[in-house]
Chains A and B, each alone.
Chain A
Amino acid sequence: MGEIRIARQSDYDLFSPTTPIVIDNGGSTFRIGWAGESDPRIMFRNVAFRPRHRSTGETVTVVGEHDPALFKYFDCTRSSWRSPFDNNVVYQFEIMEYVLDYGFDRLGASSSMAGKVDHPILMTECICNPVYSRAKMAELLFETYGVPSVAFGVDAAFSYKYNQNLGICAEDGIALSIGFMTTHSIPILKGEPLPEGSCRTNVGGYHVTNYLKEVLSLKYPYHAPSITWEKAEELKREHCYVAPDYPSELQIFKKETKEAEEKKWVWQLPWVPPPQEELPSEEELARKAAIKEKQGQRLREMAAAKRSQKITDLENELHVLETLLSQLDEAELPEVASSILARSGYLSRQEIESAHSRVSQSLRKARGEPAVTVEENTDTATSADKYPLVSIPDEMLTPDQLKEKKRQIFLKTTSEGRLRAKQKRAEEEMMRERQNQLEEGRRLENPELYLEELRAKYKELSEKIDQRKRLKTNGNGNGNGNGTGNGNNVSGGTGRGERLNAAQRERMRLLTTALFDKGKGEDTFGLKDEDWQLYKLMSKDTDDDDDDVVNPDEAELERVAAKLQEFDPSFVGRAEAELMQSTQEPPRPRALTAEDYQVVLGVERFRCPEVLFQPGMIGEYQAGIDEIVSHSLRRLPNLDSSIKDRMCQSIIVTGGGSLLPGLEQRLETGIRATRPYLSPLKIVRAVDSVMDAWRGASVYAASELFSTQTFSLEDYNEKGEDWLKRCNIVYSLYD
C-alpha cells in the first residue's frame, strides 16, 4: 500500500485556480492529485474510523491506514472501519466527507487562505451511477467545499483512453475492469463507452480476499487470529494465481504429485522453540544429591525419635494396666475390686483386659513385630456379649429392650455383611492373581503365540465396537428417512448424535400412536388427566442403556490395548491412528514443533481467484468475468459483427483485481468459448492496472476542452436532477 504516514504536500498554492484536481474515488483506494501530472500525490485506503480517545473521551476521526501501534491510545472496540461505499456506489456521505477532508488536507489545501477548494474537480464513479448518489456528491462538493465546477467520469473508460493513447488498444474495444466489489465489461466505440452495452457482475478483489481469509481461518482455527484481512491481502498478492484450467489443476493437487508439492507454499508463523533445559553440570548434581541426602537423614532421625517416644508411652500405659490387673487379682473382696475399678476409670475387668491387649498390640507394631491376630477371637468372644439381646425371643423383653434388640440385630447384620464382602473381595483378588500368573506363564513359555492371541482379541473387540457405532448411525439414518410419516420428528432430541436405542424408539412409538390425532382432525391430548399417565410408561430418556452395554467391551478393549502396548513394539493404538489422519489438530500438549505453526497454501492458491470466474462458489448466481464480455456484446444487437470482431481484438483488462498471474490466459479461453469459431481475439493487460484510471483522468482534465465538460452549481440548480442523470462527459476530447 505504500507509506503509512503520508506527508502533507506543500505546493498547493502554486497551482492556479484553473488547475483541476483529479480524484479517483475507488472502492478500495482513494487517489487524489493534480491534473496533468503522471502520478497522484496522495493515495490511501478509502475507509474512515471513529474511535474514542481514551484520555479525553472525545470521538475522533481517522482516515486511511496508520501505524497500528498508535491505536493503543484509542478505544477501538465500539467502532469499526467504515467505507463510504455500498457495493460500488457511494451512499454514506458523512464518511465521504471525512475522506475528502483528509485528501484535501494532505494535498495542502489547509495552507490556502481561500476558505474553499477553489479548483474544478474531476471525480470518478461507476458506470450508470444512480443519480441520487451523483447528486449528493455534487452537493457535497459544491456546498461544503465551495468547488466551482465538477465533472464525473467512469474510471474504466479513463483507463482505456490512457492505454489507447499509448497504442496498446484501438479506438473500438472492450474495457474489462476488475474492481473491489464489482467487475464491469464496457464496450468502447470510437473512443466513447457504451453504457447500454455494459455489464456488471458483483465479484471483485474483495471477494477473493475474503474467501481466502475465511478458508484459511477454518482450516487452521488455532491460527485464526494471525490471519487478518491485511495478511490475507498480502498472501493473495504474493501467492495466488489463476489456474489455466480449473479441473485439471484440482486433479494435480488431488493426486498429490510432485508438481503439487512444488506449488504448495508454506507460511511459517513466528514461533520460538521452548528453551532447551541445560543439563545441570556434575557439580550441580552432586550438590543436589548431597542436600537431598541430608534432608532424608533429618527426616529419618525425626521419625525415629517420634517412634521411640511412642514406644515409651505405650510401655508406660501397658505397665499401668498390668498393675491394675494385678491389683484386681490380688483384691479378694469385691468392694476393694470395685473401688479400684472406680478409681481407674474402667467399668469392668474385661475392659481392662481388652485395653491391655490393644496397647500391647500397638506396642508390638511400633516395635516392628508382626501383629498377633487376636482380633477374630475377641470378635467372636464378644459377639455373643455385644448382642446379648438378639438371642432372647421377643416376648420376654420390655419395649426399651426391644428397641435395643433391633439396634443390635442391625449392627450384627451389618458387621456380618462387611465381613462377607471382605471375604468375597479377597477371593476375587486371589482368582485374579492366579489368572495373571497363568497368563504370565503362557507368555513366558511362548511369547509369539501370546502376542498373536492378544492382537486377534484386540481386532475382534475393536471391530465389534465399530460395528455397533455404525449400526447406530445407520439405524438413525434409516429412521430419519422413514420416520416423518406421522408428522413428528423421529429424532428424540437427545442432541448427542441422535442415537435411537430401543427405549427411545419405544417412547416415540407411544407418543405418535397412542394419543395423537386419530384422524378426526382435532388434537384431544391432554383433555383427560389419564392421558398424561403415558409419560409414566416411557423409560427415562437417557443414554444410560448405551453406556452399560458398551462399557464391558470397551473396558476389555482397554485392558488388551494396555497389554499390547507393553509387550508389542509395533502396536499402534486405534485412537492414535485416527488422530494421525486428521489434519487440523491444535498443538497438543506434547512438544510443539515448527510444523504446528505452519499454514500451508496448496489448493487455496488458485481456489480463491476462481471465485472471479465462478461466482457460484460463494453463492452469487451471476456470470463470471469471462462470461460478462459475451453478455456485453449481446446487448449491442445493432452493431455489425465486424465491429464486434474488431472490439474483441482490443480487450483491455484493468483494475486492481487484474494483477493475478495467469488471468489473461484464462480469460482468453473463457471468452473464446463464447465467440464464433476462429474469430479474432486479443486480450491485453493495462500498462498499470491500478494507476491507469487516475492517469487517464489526469490527462483528460489537463486538456483544454475540459472546462466544457464540467457543470457548476448554477447549472445544477437550474436544470435539476433529470438533467444531471443525462449529463455524461465526452471522453474523446483530445484525439
Chain B
Amino acid sequence: MEADVVRSEMVLPPVMPFKRVQMGDKYQKGQSRGRYWKHLKQLLQAENFISLPLDEPNYLNIESPPSMYPSKKYCDITGFEAPYVDPRTKLRYADPEVFKRVRNLPNDHVQRYLALRNAAVIIR
C-alpha cells in the first residue's frame, strides 16, 4: 500500500482483534453478497402484518396517510405557481416565456424534471 494510504488508515484491516468471526471467513470471496440481503419491501412482506391485530402499531401502520390538502401545482422550471401543463412533455409551466424554455429543453432534461416529480414514465 502506498505510504499516505497507510498513514491515513482509511482502509479497514482484514483482521480485527475484537471480533469473533472475521469478515473474510464470514463472506467468502467471489460469492455475490448483495442479493442475499432482503430489501425493505421484502422484509415487510415477510413480516406479514395482515395477520397481526390491527391496533398494534407496526412499521406499516404508522405510515402517514395522504395529505388532506390538495396538492398545489408548481412550475417545474422556475418554481412559481403553474396553472398550465405542456401537452407534449407534460411539464408544468408558469407563463409563456417559461413555455419557450420548456419547448427548447433537450429530451433528457425533460425526463429529469419529470423524475424529480416522480412523474417520469419508465420504459423497461
Check if B5 sits within 8 Å of A73, measured CB to CB. Answer: yes
Verify if A97 is at the interface (C-beta below 8 Å from B). Answer: yes
Instruction: Count B interface residues, CB 8 Å.
Output: 61
Q: Once the chains are docked, how many angstroms separate the CA of A67 from the CA of B68?
A: 46
Check if B40 sits within 8 Å of A250, measured CB to CB. Answer: no
Known contacts A254-B80, A607-B79, A627-B69; A133 and B43 CB within 8 A of each other: yes
Using a CB-CB cutoff of 8 Å, which residues 237-257 of chain A contact chain B? 247, 250, 253-254
Instruction: Report which residue of B10, B16, B63, B117 has the largest number of chain A beta carbons within 10 angstroms of its beta carbon.
Output: B10
Query: A247: which B residues are within 8 A, CB to CB?
Result: 81
Least CB distance from B97 to A in Å reads 7
Verify if B33 is at the interface (C-beta below 8 Å from A). Answer: yes
Q: What per-residue 1/0 map shows which CB atoms of A567-594 lie under 8 Å from chain B?
A: 0000000000000011110000000000
Query: A583: which B residues are within 8 A, CB to CB?
Result: 101
Verify if A138 is at the interface (C-beta below 8 Å from B). Answer: no
Using a CB-CB cutoff of 8 Å, which residues 7-63 of chain B contact chain A? 8-12, 16-21, 23, 26-27, 33, 37-40, 43-44, 46-47, 55-59, 61-63
Q: What per-residue 1/0 map shows which CB atoms of A95-125 lie under 8 Å from chain B?
A: 0011001101100011011111100000000
B39 partner, pick from A86, A145, A196, A219, beta carbons under 8 A: A86
Q: What per-residue 1/0 map shows which CB atoms of B86-124 lie under 8 Å from chain A?
A: 010000000001001100100001001100111100000
Check if A89 sits within 8 Å of B79, measured CB to CB. Answer: no
Q: What per-residue 1/0 map shows which CB atoms of A461-495 lie under 8 Å from chain B?
A: 00000000000000001001000000000000000
Verify if A200 is at the interface (C-beta below 8 Å from B). Answer: yes
Least CB distance from A97 to B in Å reads 7
Check if B5 sits within 8 Å of A130, measured CB to CB. Answer: no
Tell me the nearest residue of chain A to B11, going by C-beta.
A60
Known contacts A56-B1, A109-B18, A195-B62; A218 and B37 CB within 8 A of each other: no
Check if B37 sits within 8 Å of A94, measured CB to CB. Answer: yes
Check if A5 sits within 8 Å of B8, measured CB to CB. Answer: yes
Q: Once the chains are docked, how many angstroms separate the CA of A86 from the CA of B41?
A: 9
Q: Once the chains are docked, how many angstroms separate the CA of A133 from the CA of B65?
A: 24
Check if A200 sits within 8 Å of B97, measured CB to CB. Answer: no
A92 partner, pick from B37, B47, B57, B116, beta carbons under 8 A: B37
Verify if A619 is at the interface (C-beta below 8 Å from B). Answer: yes
Query: B43: which A residues are within 8 A, CB to CB?
Result: 89, 91, 130, 132-133
B8 partner, pick from A66, A145, A195, A618, beta carbons under 8 A: A66
Known contacts A620-B118, A623-B67; A117 and B40 CB within 8 A of each other: no
B64 partner, pick from A8, A201, A617, beta carbons under 8 A: A201
Q: Once the chains are docked, how many angstroms separate the CA of A647 from the CA of B46?
A: 36
Verify if A199 is at the interface (C-beta below 8 Å from B). Answer: yes
Known contacts A53-B1, A621-B71; A581 and B97 CB within 8 A of each other: yes
A623 partner, pick from B17, B56, B64, B80, beta carbons under 8 A: B64
Check if B40 sits within 8 Å of A89, measured CB to CB. Answer: yes
B67 partner, pick from A53, A66, A67, A622, beta carbons under 8 A: A622
Check if A89 sits within 8 Å of B118, measured CB to CB. Answer: no
Check if B37 sits within 8 Å of A91, measured CB to CB. Answer: yes
Query: B78: which A residues are within 8 A, CB to CB?
Result: 603
Query: B33: which A residues are within 8 A, CB to CB?
Result: 94
Verify if A215 is at the interface (C-beta below 8 Å from B). Answer: yes
Query: A204: which B residues are within 8 A, CB to CB?
Result: none
**What are 15 inter-chain pairs, A to B, with CB distance below 8 A?**
A66-B10, A87-B40, A94-B37, A98-B23, A117-B18, A127-B62, A130-B44, A132-B46, A144-B21, A146-B18, A146-B19, A218-B113, A253-B80, A621-B71, A623-B64
Known: A105-B18, A130-B58, A199-B64. 18 other contacts (CB 8 A): A53-B11, A66-B10, A105-B12, A109-B17, A110-B16, A132-B38, A214-B112, A214-B116, A221-B109, A477-B87, A581-B97, A614-B72, A621-B66, A621-B71, A622-B63, A628-B64, A631-B64, A631-B65
Question: 10 smallest A-B Cβ distances: which pairs?
Answer: A619-B118, A616-B71, A86-B40, A195-B57, A201-B64, A109-B18, A603-B79, A66-B10, A61-B12, A607-B79
B interface list, Cβ under 8 A from A: 1-2, 4-5, 8-12, 16-21, 23, 26-27, 33, 37-40, 43-44, 46-47, 55-59, 61-69, 71-72, 74, 77-81, 87, 97, 100-101, 104, 109, 112-113, 116-119
A interface list, Cβ under 8 A from B: 5, 8, 53, 55-56, 60-63, 66-67, 70, 73, 86-87, 89, 91-94, 97-98, 101-102, 104-105, 109-110, 112-117, 127-133, 143-146, 184, 195-196, 198-202, 211, 214-215, 218-219, 221, 247, 250, 253-254, 477, 480, 581-584, 603-604, 607, 614-624, 627-628, 631
